[in-house]
């Protein structure tokens, strides 16, 4: 029985890893009292990649990927829909929302922002679709649409009256249901099909070990990977660990790739045990595993440079050339003095006193110092 249960869990895990999910999200913002910011703006994101943008101030509708541009060129009905939503319908709707919601909160002037997230997620294996529609006001959740009950959920007491009003509006409810479960899914499938070359690609990251100060955690940082469905963790002796580990969020880069970091507190780790720890990056597909050993000489910091591969602090930039420079100075002075003595001896002359030797050495010091300065410059540069 236990074996059957274990096999079932493994099968379930494999199915989750092999599941291919795609998403289409619209992030909309409306604001008042915010200088130098469009009153209304919208961003379209497909599988975590920003694909299009519009704002009401510049009357800009900008598809940001080649395949998205081609879709608007070959589908005039979509171009018309986006144009109307960006420059006509939604700016007026959000303007009205802000006016009424300010009254709900007994607010007058100041800065106010409404945010809306809408869209859907499509499971390519099961063909199931889930939709999302949420409103936020001034940085906090406000209203959320429940697709199962086709009703609104008030996330703030001030949203109760709005919930009742929107629940009673059957036209609004049916339009929301149709867009989230039908239209959004159709468009998402079209976008995935047209953009599969870029959306289905696999890009492995560069993985680095970073540390801010000697007492800071060691951060395992992976940057430049795609897609964003990845696992990253620390393990010791081959087993994943959680104590002393802090995992960051997956964040987008400007080029459409992603980054993530996982920190390890090394304050209680003995230096002789560092080799037992390693950072693991893995795509959820189960392939392309990158393992990075916890190695002090590989840590990049802003407080030291491991130029000797020992982990010790790098000496000051000036200390490296100073010792050779002093040696050069002494050798040049000695050579100059010796040369002068030989020259005088050949001429049949002798030094009359130590003061004569000292006078000569002083006379050649400017030349010697000039040579030393040149030597220093070459070494420092």
State the number of CA atoms in the 13 A half-sphere of 227 facing the CB: 19
Mean pLDDT of the chain: 79
The model's pTM is 0.60
Listed range (48-62, 248-262, 344-358) with the worst mean pLDDT: 344-358
Q: How confident is the model at residue 303 (pLDDT cuts 50, 70, 90)?
A: low
Dump pLDDT digits (tens) for 277-297. 999 999 887 667 999 999 988
Residue 314 pLDDT exceeds 80 = no
Q: Which CATH fold would you assign to the domain 206-301?
A: Immunoglobulin-like (2.60.40)
Per DSSP bridges, beta strands 299-301 and 206-211 are parallel
The answer to whether the beta carbons of residues 267 and 215 sit under 8 Å apart is yes
Backbone angles phi, psi at 91, to 5 degrees: -55, -40
Domain 17-199 has CATH 3.30.500.10: yes
| Domains in the chain: boundaries | 17-199, 206-301, 319-380
Choice between 145 and 197, residue whose per-residue pLDDT is larger: 145
- Which of 195, 172, 230 minimizes the C-alpha distance to 23? 195
Tokens 């986006």, located at residue: 82
Residue 255 pLDDT exceeds 50 = yes
């Amino acid at each position: 029985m236990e074996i059957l249960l274990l096999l079932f869990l493994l099968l379930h895990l494999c199915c989750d890893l092999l599941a291919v999910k795609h998403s289409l999200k619209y992030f909309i913002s409306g604001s008042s009292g915010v200088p130098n910011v469009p009153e209304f703006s919208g961003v379209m994101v497909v599988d975590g990649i920003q694909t299009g943008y519009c704002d009401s101030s510049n009357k800009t509708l900008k598809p940001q990927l080649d395949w998205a541009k081609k879709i608007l060129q070959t589908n005039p009905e979509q171009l018309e829909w986006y144009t109307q939503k960006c420059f006509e319908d939604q700016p007026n709707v959000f303007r009205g929302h802000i006016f009424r919601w300010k009254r709900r909160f007994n607010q007058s002037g100041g800065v106010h922002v409404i945010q809306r997230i809408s869209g859907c997620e499509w499971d390519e294996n099961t063909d199931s679709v889930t939709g999302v529609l949420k409103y936020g006001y001034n940085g906090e959740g406000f209203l959320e649409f429940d697709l199962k009950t086709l009703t609104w959920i008030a996330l703030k007491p001030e949203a109760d009256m709005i919930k009742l009003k929107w629940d009673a509006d059957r036209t609004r409810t049916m339009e929301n249901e149709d867009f989230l479960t039908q239209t959004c899914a159709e468009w998402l499938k079209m976008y995935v099909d047209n953009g599969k070359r870029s959306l289905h690609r696999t890009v492995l990251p560069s993985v680095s070990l970073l540390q801010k100060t000697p007492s800071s955690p060691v951060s395992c940082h992976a940057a430049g990977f795609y897609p964003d469905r990845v696992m990253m963790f620390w393990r010791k002796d081959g087993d994943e660990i959680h104590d002393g580990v802090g995992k960051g969020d997956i964040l987008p880069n400007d080029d459409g790739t992603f980054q993530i970091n996982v920190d390890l507190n090394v304050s209680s780790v003995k230096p002789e045990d560092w080799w037992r720890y390693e950072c693991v990056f893995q795509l959820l597909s189960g392939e392309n595993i990158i393992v990075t050993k916890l190695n002090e000489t590989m840590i990049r910091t802003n407080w030291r440079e491991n130029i000797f591969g020992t982990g010790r602090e790098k000496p000051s930039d000036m200390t490296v050339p100073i010792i050779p420079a002093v040696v050069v100075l002494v050798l040049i002075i000695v050579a100059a003095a010796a040369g002068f003595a030989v020259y005088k001896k050949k001429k049949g002359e002798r030094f009359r006193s130590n003061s004569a030797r000292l006078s000569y050495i002083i006379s050649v010091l400017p030349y010697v110092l000039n040579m030393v300065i040149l030597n220093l410059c070459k070494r420092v540069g």
